Amino acid sequence: MSTKPGIDGIHAYLREQIVLLDLPPGTRLREAGLADHFGVSRTPIRQVLHRLEFEGLVEQVPGAGARVSPLDPKALRDVWAVRLKLADLVGDFVRLPAAGEVVEKVEKVSDGLDALKQSREIRALGELYNRYHEAMSSVIDNAALARIHDLLFVQTARVWMLFLPEMDLDREVEIMKEEVGETLTALRGSSGQHLAEIRSEHLRGLLQRFNQHVTNIPAVPA
């Protein structure tokens, strides 16, 4: 890389690589190789790996070092349940109307979804979902809740990427386009509860679609 990134930059880069499955489950993450790639010492790499381990994206294997953690969709059912409950709580801790730069970020996501109707790139849809999540996190006016919101997102986002090739991509794009459009209206308004209801409804629908592919994961009851 042309410039040496800081710990936050390395963490953000590797996290997105893992979430988008560019680094699939089981991938070895060698400290020396990563240090060479980013042009830094092994100390910041070790710190980044610890952060990723806390987020559930990396695990330490005795005698083998770090690797991208395996995906267990059934085990993540409980995480989904908490995400759904948390989506309702978020409505009590948001700043609305949202700042202009937040609205602009979500508008760019909407524009990107329009482009995806032609390109139909699965990875690009994952990137847009990440940008949408970042915008939603930025309106949470409670630092502790924002951290939990982000942590639960990264623990489940890989499952979506895993199943996207098996799902109806055109439908997924249309559903996300609908959610983003509704979100833009809510962000320009003053009702945090309305914003929370939009997110809860779409999260529940997403989980139900997952259950069509992983029938051994019970749906979260309404």
Q: What's the mean per-residue pLDDT of the chain?
A: 90
Angle at 31 between CA 25 and CA 34, to 5 degrees: 80
Q: DSSP states of the chain as a string?
A: --S---HHHHHHHHHHHHHTTSS-TT-EE-HHHHHHHHTS-HHHHHHHHHHHHHTTSEEEETTTEEEEPPP-TTTTHHHHHHHHHHHHHHTTSB-SSPPHHHHHHHHHHHHHHHHHHHH--HHHHHHHHHHHHHHHHHTB--HHHHHHHHHHHHHHHHHHHHHGGGS-HHHHHHHHHHHHHHHHHHHTSS-HHHHHHHHHHHHHHHHHHHHHH-TTSPPPP-
Domain range summary for the chain, segments of one domain joined by +: 7-68, 77-213
Q: What is the rounded distance in angstroms from the CA atom of residue 217 to the CA atom of residue 163?
A: 14
Mean pLDDT value across residues 76-96: 87
Mean pLDDT value across residues 129-149: 95
Give the pLDDT of residue 213. 62
Give the pLDDT of residue 214. 61
- pLDDT band at 219; cut points 50, 70, 90: very low
Q: What is the rounded distance in angstroms from the CA atom of residue 78 to the CA atom of residue 5?
A: 35
pTM for this structure?
A: 0.89
Q: pLDDT, tens digit, for every residue of 48-75?
A: 999 999 999 999 988 888 999 998 877 7
| Whether pLDDT at 220 is above 60 | no
Mean pLDDT value across residues 139-150: 94
Q: What is the rounded distance in angstroms from the CA atom of residue 131 to the CA atom of residue 162?
A: 18
Q: pLDDT, tens digit, for every residue of 171-205?
A: 999 999 999 999 999 999 999 999 999 999 998 88
CATH class of 77-213: mainly alpha
Give the pLDDT of residue 215. 54
CATH class of 7-68: mainly alpha
Least confident of 28-32, 142-146, 169-173, 216-220: 216-220
Between these two residues, 94 and 88, which has the higher pLDDT value? 94
* Burial (0-12, 13-18, 19+ Cβ within 10 Å), 14: buried
